[in-house]
A and B are shown apart, each in its own frame.
Chain A
Amino acid sequence: MLTPSPSSPIVHAAAVVPAASRRPTFYTLFVMLLLAGLALVPTYAALSGQAFYVTLFARIVVFAIAAVSLDLILGIGGLVSFGHALYLGLGAYAAGVLAQHGIDNGWVHLGVAIVLCGAVGFVTGFVSLRTTGIAFIMITLAFAQMVYFLAVSLKQYGGDDGLPLAASSRFGNMSLGDPATLYYVAFGFLCLLLLSGSRFVKARFGMTLAGIRMNERRMKALGVPTLQYKLGAYVIAAILCGIAGVLYANLTQFVSPSYMSWTTSGELIMMVVIGGIGTFVGPVVGALAMVLVEEGLKSATEHWMFIMGPLIVLIVLLTRRGLMGVVHSADARRAAKIAAKIAARSKRTESLS
């Protein structure tokens, strides 16, 4: 089998290129270029004197973390959660509320965010995962709305208007209030996430999760406790998104119920799908594309959503595997070419002998 089947988006073309080819795949090149480019952003911003770039790209990186966490359940597990922004908001509120009470220790912020998102993810996941399909989409949305309304009604923490972050998260001498520090921390975490993601899909857990997406009934018949795997993935995704939330609160220096609004959930799904579902790198590309297009449209017109909406519809109707699909198919073409060459060579040696 030399070409990845179009029905499974997570087949990496790297796996099908024969080991004989020492040239890196387009995929590897692309990922390295992307990460190198992102790593150089603060340097570029400092050199060009455009400090604005750091906050803009920090937003991209933070949303990329959230989108990658969503990709874990959406892309690998096939669970269409329409309420993932809930955990972004919970993480942000964990930092905001603690800072309000004078606690600026970043480890405490992170710890509370992780425990909170893990607990909420466990409870809501346990109930939501009893359903599938449309009902799952709606129940995840409803849980996110529930917490959204809870945040709106918390008058002592800003209610509808939100809450300015009283103090940035502090790790020893390092404060996330500084945009460049925040950027490097978020970027480092994203790299770590991508690295573990590429291991995850090949690990037992990732394989099982992908198997559940493809055919849950068969996995059950094989004796796999599918609910436990799905719930585990759901909780991990919730926690990772909560960490993104802590970072996001530090980036905007503000916490608002709108972070967990259903439009944010929609945008996260959009990032995953535009970039390429089930690829982990795809959501990063998706976050980059979404935020940049949004910024571009916003600077062009006040009614940017009037263009963004139909654009989303068009992307969904016309593309199938997102932007990473382009890179993967380039690799697949090259792999096919190399394979043809090898086949021709082995035929020649056969006829000679």
Chain B
Amino acid sequence: MNVTLFVMQCLNGMQLGVLLFLMAAGLTLVFGIMNFVNLAHGSLYMMGAFVGALVYNTTSSFILGVLAVIPAMLALAFVLEALVFKRLYQRDHLDQVLATFGLILFFNELIRMIWGPSPYYMEVPPALSGTVNLFGIPYPAYRLLIVASGLAVALGCYLLIHRTRIGMLIRAGATHRAMIGALGINIKLLNSLVFGLGAVLAGLAGMLAGPILSVQPGMGEPVLILTMVVIVIGGIGSIRGAFLGALIVGVIDTVGRTLLPAVLRGLFERGTADTAGPALASMLIYILMAVVLALRPQGLFPVRHG
């Protein structure tokens, strides 16, 4: 284990972290404001990846792909909300879980019918296929772009939430929903807005992840579950929690997968270490979540009231 590898793994972890943040931002706000469990958020991620990949592969312009994802996701979010979600907001969590579970089955099968079960190829844009020299460490330019754009989106979200009137309403809605409704704010419109924003961010995450992960039916669920871990660790309804939680989960998961087998190999004999290492590494973030919940059930960075 040398320093170069460690730094690279940290960067990879950050890259996973910002992707998770793009997912978590929308999900945590919808949780926070509407108290709504949307398991189909992972399907939005998948739809974004497929729409982006389709446009990119036909026009061979990555920028056009990204630009196409935004209106497509807004339209999808609008249709989903009008047809299904609107009727679910007043229901209990159980109904929400089930209905969005049904939606996941539908979207996965829809994609499988159109594109087939095998991964849909999407290559790294040629302009970004090289490496960038970061303090003497060569790092793939595309992954660096993901980190940079993720951080930019995070900054944008921060400014939107903390520096604008809409952001103020969103924060108020997350803490005292009934009260801001009573003050004459259209909370439903506000939620549609947040939901649309969340869908766009999820779609963009899918599009950005496309070239490095595989674009295939069912790609949304592993990410969705990681995102839920992020939200639980960070604190439900908190953007700051989503951001820090995403980075923590991303870095721990990625670094753990490289570091842990090596550490175990130093402690145990080779056979034991080779089996236990990967098993333990894939459980690491869930163990982290359990510890966080045991010590601070409200998450590490909960919404600050008052």
Question: In the complex, how many residues of chain B place their beta carbon closer than 8 angstroms to a beta carbon of chain A?
Answer: 44
A12-20, A107-115, A178-186, A309-317: which lies at the interface:
A309-317
Q: Let me know if A80 and B97 touch, CB within 8 A.
A: yes
Assuming the contacts A82-B97, A139-B293, A149-B282, asked whether A311 and B102 have C-beta atoms less than 8 A apart, the reply is yes
Report the separation of the CA atoms of residues A311 and B236 in the bound assembly, to the nearest whole angstrom.
30
A155 within 8 A of B: yes
Q: Let me know if B102 and A127 touch, CB within 8 A.
A: no
| Residues 71-114 (chain B) with a chain A CB within 8 angstroms | 84, 87-88, 91, 93-95, 97-99, 101-110, 112-113
A150 within 8 A of B: yes
Q: Let me know if A135 and B102 touch, CB within 8 A.
A: no
A270 within 8 A of B: yes
Q: Scoring B residues 252 to 288 as 1 if CB is less than 8 Å from chain A, else 0, what string do you get?
A: 0000000000000000000000010011001100110
Chain B, Cβ-Cβ closest to A318: B87
A308 within 8 A of B: yes
Of A80, A138, A141, A155, which is within 8 A of B94 by CB? A80
Q: Scoring A residues 303 to 345 as 1 if CB is less than 8 Å from chain B, else 0, what string do you get?
A: 1111011111100110000000000000000000000000000
Assuming the contacts A135-B236, A270-B101, asked whether A305 and B109 have C-beta atoms less than 8 A apart, the reply is yes
Report the separation of the CA atoms of residues A303 and B87 in the bound assembly, to the nearest whole angstrom.
27
Chain B, Cβ-Cβ closest to A316: B99
B35 within 8 A of A: yes
Of A133, A139, A154, A311, which is within 8 A of B279 by CB? A154
A117 within 8 A of B: no
B1 within 8 A of A: no
A195 within 8 A of B: no
Q: Let me know if A134 and B35 touch, CB within 8 A.
A: yes
| Residues 137-155 (chain A) with a chain B CB within 8 angstroms | 137-139, 141-143, 145-146, 149-150, 152-155
Question: In the complex, how many residues of chain A place their beta carbon closer than 8 angstroms to a beta carbon of chain B?
Answer: 45
B229 within 8 A of A: yes
Report the separation of the CA atoms of residues A102 and B109 in the bound assembly, to the nearest whole angstrom.
40
Of B35, B84, B110, B275, which is within 8 A of A306 by CB? B110
How many Å from the CB of A169 to the closest CB on chain B? 26
Q: Let me know if A312 and B94 touch, CB within 8 A.
A: no
Most buried by A among B97, B113, B294: B97
Residues of B close to A153: CB separation below 8 A: 275, 278-279, 282
B297 within 8 A of A: yes
Report the separation of the CA atoms of residues A130 and B297 in the bound assembly, to the nearest whole angstrom.
7
Of B31, B97, B109, which is within 8 A of A269 by CB? B97
Q: Let me know if A316 and B95 touch, CB within 8 A.
A: yes
How many Å from the CB of B84 to the closest CB on chain A? 6
Of A133, A135, A266, A306, which is within 8 A of B101 by CB? A266
Assuming the contacts A134-B35, A134-B37, asked whether A309 and B102 have C-beta atoms less than 8 A apart, the reply is yes
Residues of B close to A127: CB separation below 8 A: 290, 293-294
Q: Let me know if B99 and A317 touch, CB within 8 A.
A: yes
Q: Scoring A residues 66 to 101 as 1 if CB is less than 8 Å from chain B, else 0, what string do you get?
A: 000000001000001010000000000000000000
Residues of A close to B22: CB separation below 8 A: none
A131 within 8 A of B: yes
Report the separation of the CA atoms of residues A317 and B103 in the bound assembly, to the nearest whole angstrom.
12
Most buried by A among B110, B278, B286: B286
- Closest 4 pairs between A and B when the two form their complex, measured CB to CB: A309-B106, A312-B102, A309-B105, A146-B286
Known contacts A139-B232, A308-B102; 13 further A-B pairs (Cβ under 8 A) = A80-B94, A127-B294, A128-B293, A131-B293, A133-B93, A137-B97, A142-B289, A269-B94, A269-B101, A306-B105, A309-B103, A312-B105, A317-B88
